[in-house]
Amino acid sequence: MKWEVVIGLEVHVQLNTVSKIFSGASTAFGAEPNTQASLVELALPGVLPVMNKAVVDKSIRLGLALDATINQKNIFARKNYFYPDLPKGYQISQMELPIVEHGKLAILVGEEEKVIRVTRAHMEEDAGKSLHEDFHGLSGIDLNRAGTPLLEVVSEPDMRSPEEAVAYAKALHTLVTWLGICDGNMQEGSFRVDANVSVRPFGQAEFGTRREIKNLNSFRFLEQAIKYEIQWQIDTIEDGGKIQQATVLFDPDSGETRMMRSKEDAHDYRYFPDPDLLPVRISQAQIDATRADMPELPGQMKARFVEAFGVSAYDAALLTSSLAQAQYFEAVAAATGQGKLAANWVNGEIAARLNRDGLDIAGCPIGTERLAGLIVRIADGTLSNKLAKQVFDALWESDLTAD
């Protein structure tokens, strides 16, 4: 029997506001435990949440970039559950009327473009963090992260392979960093992915039973976890077993998923509107002002690069994987008039060296003027490709040493 894979992603995007969603406490990463938890995060009696306007503004930006509906009336709800790092006993989130609904995001897998539907993106507060490794037989609670603003971006189950899931996650990561609403640091938890994975026989309309892989904090782990989970589910079914809906964790050391807890079709979180927060009402003027302030988006810039510089759609997708890289390429291409040659060097030698030295494009030791000068010498026949690479090597090492 041949199996079809069905994948949907829930991505927690940590918004890069200075203060938390419902208090003035700092969101800065790396402070000593519990030094950035205000009375609101501690849930002391009588304290009241106050909405951070910057969270709404950043959420609108993402909604517009996803070509989604922006709900002009937003209601916050209490999502009730017990966990040690959730002092209130509930999380303030959105159930009905989330700020963003019915969006879409284009991805490129190889040469094939596909559009993934985005069901919703809702505003919520992050929980604290339980620390298990530094305490012998005990757990510590750090509430610095509690109250940090999140957008939870939920896709439709439109992905059919691990490669598509990674492409979607990367495209969303590019978008939120491009818009300047998230720093995208996955190691610090600014961008975390939950993957819902199921399999079904080809041709079957009904979805299989899904298992949710929680808290994946790298694209490599996302791909590894989904691949393992797919094979595990297929093997289980073909051996006569039955998939039980569950939440699982991925162990990078073993490369395996393991069950964290089983769950029914839905938890009863007893959602109800938060009585301490008035509905957030967004005016059309606010939406229009945000739209007017939007940058050129990755998809728009990719299409322009193809048209203006004659690069392939694949090369243009690589060049627009970050705003800084796109700006670097455009400066070189405009200075030289050699779009394809500039794309080859940025996607080739520059990308390889940055990867080798653990740098990003912002830390590239060769500036756009120097690379442009090198490309001009290649284009006019002064330098062969072989000699150009030797010059490039010398420039890279000398500039890196000078830095």
pLDDT of 402: 61
> What is the Cα–Cα distance from 351 to 361, expressed in whole angstroms?
8
Residue 268 has pLDDT above 80, yes or no: no
pLDDT of 139: 87
pTM score: 0.92
pLDDT of 138: 87
Residue 249 has pLDDT above 90, yes or no: yes
Higher pLDDT, 400 or 49: 49
Residue 355 has pLDDT above 80, yes or no: yes
Tens digits of per-residue pLDDT, 379-389? 999 999 999 99
Question: pLDDT band at 267, cuts 50/70/90?
Answer: low
Mean pLDDT score across all residues of the chain = 93
> What is the Cα–Cα distance from 384 to 387, expressed in whole angstroms?
5
Question: pLDDT band at 403, cuts 50/70/90?
Answer: low
Residue 397 has pLDDT above 90, yes or no: no
Instruction: Tell me which residue has tokens 């205000």.
Output: 38
pLDDT of 220: 96
Higher pLDDT, 267 or 87: 87
Tens digits of per-residue pLDDT, 293-348? 999 999 999 999 999 999 998 999 999 999 999 999 999 999 999 999 999 999 99
